[in-house]
A and B are shown apart, each in its own frame.
Chain A
Amino acid sequence: MHHSYSLTSPLPSPASYLRAVPGTGLQIQGISKRYGSLVAVNDLTLDVRPDEVFGFVGSNGAGKTTTMRIILGVLDADGGEVLWDGSPIDFEVRRRIGYMPEERGLYPKMRIGEQLRYLAQLHGASAAQATAAVKLWLDRFGLSARTKDEVQKLSHGNQQRVQLAAALVFEPLMLILDEPFAGLDPEAVDSMSEVLHERAAAGIPVIFSSHQLDLVERICDRVGIIQRGHLIASGTIDELRGHGPERIWVDAPAAPSGWATHVAGATVARTEGSRVLVQLEPSGDDQALLQAALATGPVREFRRDLPSLLDVFREAMSESRVATPA
């Protein structure tokens, strides 16, 4: 990317006036929300640190959007608390959250520049700050030439960029993005995720939800899996992936079939040609497995199999289904 933007922007460093010392970020403590008999969010607890990109995954209707709306104060929780830097989040903090709703929210017939300036001012920026920030972000997204165009004249990807710009133009304290990557091409995803990482590095926590688990896996520092309004797993990608049983791919072409079952604590999960996927009990020893494999002849592959986030997600869902019978 050849953009002229740098992190030493002419704008005041985000959050500087509200945060003399680096804050503790966002803490969600046991929030709940019901709609009549439907429990949308159920005792959800979650921390997002100031310098991280946090991915929120879950099926449709799991409670992601409701949780985001509660953080924003657009909805009131029935119980629980949302804290910012250790104290209950208030209107002054909330109005400096950059928010991107799931179904995009912009005035289709308003000019891009005017619209962004308007939204920046509504979020508390002065007219001069708003003008500078709008120019900065439109330059950054390569949309300067479209400043006077109506939003509806832009392509989907560019509308999405404007939508993200709308969340950035007032130097937000935090970003909350509901499905920000929906329908974007890979290039747009890359440029957008680059911005998110930059912001997180500048101390602005980023929370986003997504169905695209491969994306979440690539972009997020930490992930929370939500199901039926409850957080069923959270942690860094590595923590989540390392959470399951240990599995090892072994390719020992000369080995007789069933060789691995002689190793203590090992079972064969899958066989693909000469390769076998061996699952080890917690008591099992991977070095014993390697020695057993070498004893049969040459070993071409010996590799730890980390589950993808999708596997983790599926497993977490099935575990929680067992744990909490509907």
Chain B
Amino acid sequence: MPGAGQEALRTFYLIARREFITRVRSRIFLIGTVLLMLLLAGYIVLQAVVLNRSTATVKIGFTGAATALARPLQAAAGAQGTKIDASNVNSVSAGQAQVRSGDLDALVSGDPSGPQVDVKDSLDPTVGATLTGLVQQAALNQAITASGGNPAAIDAKVASATIHLNLLDPQAAMRTQRTVVGIFVAALLYVALLIYGQIVAAGVVEEKANRIIEILLSTVRPRQVLLGKVVGIGLMGFLQLLLLGAVALIAGTQTHVIDVPSVGIPAVLGGLLWFVLGFVFFALIYAAGGSLVSRQEDLAAVTSPITMLIVATYLAFFWVLSNQDNPLAIVLSVIPPFAPILMPARMATGDAQAWQVVVAVVLTVAAIAGMNALAARIYSNSVLKVGSRVKFLEAWRGAR
């Protein structure tokens, strides 16, 4: 016969497996996960489209002698980040017709030293400034030659005169990206903790309401039922977040919305780690709360304080975000119950220091151990009490 520890492990495995398999196989999980994945991918692609609009190409037609401007304009505008789609047009009238119809954004014609530019109602400012610069440069070169000077030597001299650029915040663009990702991680964890916590509480009440708990407890210890349920449901949540994280990384790589190696991967890994820690912590509280009531209708009354706590943590995140260096912000982000949302978000924004992460993990693991003992006690004392809601103190004392 197997040892007691081995048998307990087998029981725990059986319970966790049932929770995981029956839920992951359910239609609501499959449809919900696919829908979330599509939404996330769609959101990232939408972001990419919005970002790309600023670097949209400008279609310009050239005709006659002005065609000589096409190549220099492309080069100069390209340096400014504007792509020029240049094309040759047979005549001015044909070009103007194309501008009117929207096939071209602008038509350049006439003398290259003073070209005519036809547009519908406005010219792209970069193109306008670049073209003006080119024309003025040509005029300047002509004037220098006319006065007996060497335009190339003067251009070189001019080019050597430069400003000295001092980058005060070279990571600003990166930081914006990190902040967006941090907000995203916090929001996702917030929703995941709330939803999966509720699923745990509802699962506890379900077993209590249909009395299967009596059959289970005749062969399994309450603590095993509690932990098996938390782990089984947690695995389902982990799987869902893993899929969402993978979708985010793949979509991010394809669209270049985020810098995947330096921002995306650490954010996803940090988010998953903290989902595990945060979920176990809150799920134990939800399970203990669920064990106090016998009907799903009464569940809201006991779970709302836990829900409020998670909502408060999420709201605190926005304060922390704009007060990163405030000592209170740092303290909040390392202590449970706030750490599971605040720390991964601060890790994603790049504000958390390594020692803060370590302290937060240690404190949260300790809190989970404490909560496990508390939740097991409350659960064991109240899960068989059917009828009106069990009072917290009664559940703690265990007078039955």
| A97 proximal to B (CB < 8 A) | yes
Q: Is the Cβ of B214 less than 8 Å from the Cβ of A122? A: no
* Docked pose: A110 CA to B206 CA in angstroms: 13
Known A-B contacts A35-B400, A108-B210; A118 and B18 likewise in contact (beta carbons under 8 Å): yes
A102-122 vs B: 1/0 string, CB under 8 Å?
111111111000100011011
A122:B22 contact, CB within 8 angstroms: no
CB of A20 closer than 8 Å to a CB of B: no
Cα A73 to Cα B215 in complex, Å, equals 11
Report the Cα distance A121→B218, complex, angstroms: 13
Contact A104 to B218, CB < 8 A, known contacts A109-B22, A110-B22, A118-B18: no
State the Cβ distance, B250 to closest chain A Cβ, in Å.
34
B214 touches A69 (CB 8 A): yes
A157 contacts the other chain (CB 8 A): no
Find out whether the CB atom of A101 lies under 8 angstroms from the CB atom of B211.
yes
Chain B residues, CB < 8 A from A124? 7, 219
Contacts of B212 on A, CB cut-off 8 Å?
A: 105-107
B400 and A72 within 8 A (CB): no
- Of residues 152 to 204 in B, which have CB atoms within 8 Å of A's CB atoms? none
* Residue tally, chain A, CB below 8 Å to B: 29
Query: Is the CB–CB distance between B384 and A104 below 8 Å?
Result: no
Say how far A121's CB is from chain B's closest CB, in angstroms: 5
Contacts of A74 in B (CB 8 A): 214, 217-218, 384
A95 and B14 alpha carbons, distance in the complex (Å): 15
B220 within 8 A of A: yes
Report the bound CA distance from A94 to B212 in whole Å: 16
A102: chain B residues at CB < 8 Å are 211
Taking CB atoms, residues of chain A closer than 8 Å to B26 are 109
Are B210 and A106 interface neighbours, CB within 8 A?
A: yes
Majority secondary structure of chain A interface residues (helix, strand, loop or mixed): loop
For chain B, give the interface size range: 20 to 34
Name the distance in Å between A293's Cβ and chain B's nearest Cβ. Answer: 57
Which chain A residues lie closer than 8 Å to B11 at the CB level? 122
What residues on B are CB-neighbors of A72 within 8 Å? Answer: 214, 218
Query: Across the two chains, which residue of chain B brings its CB closest to A176?
Result: B218
Instruction: Knowing A35-B400, A74-B218 are in contact, say whether A105-B14 is a contact too (CB < 8 A).
Output: no
Residues facing A in B367-400 (CB within 8 A) are 384, 399-400
Which A residues touch B22, using CB under 8 A? 107, 109-110, 114
Is the pair A103, B217 in contact by a Cβ cutoff of 8 Å? no
CA distance A110 to B26 in the complex (A): 10
Residues in chain B near residue A97, CB distance under 8 A: 218
Q: Is there contact, CB below 8 Å, between B211 and A103?
A: yes
Q: Is A75's CB under 8 angstroms from B210's CB? A: no
- B214: chain A residues within 8 A (beta carbon): 69, 72, 74, 99, 101, 105
Chain B residue at minimum C-beta to C-beta distance from A35: B400
In the bound complex, what is the Cα–Cα distance between A143 and B400 (angstroms)?
40
Tell me, yes or no, whether A228 is within 8 Å of chain B by CB.
no
* Cβ–Cβ < 8 Å partners of A114 in chain B: 22
A122 touches B216 (CB 8 A): yes
Query: Which residues of A from 43 to 96 have beta carbons under 8 Å from B?
Result: 69, 72-75, 94-95
Known: A72-B218, A99-B218. 4 other contacts (CB 8 A): A94-B219, A107-B212, A122-B216, A124-B7
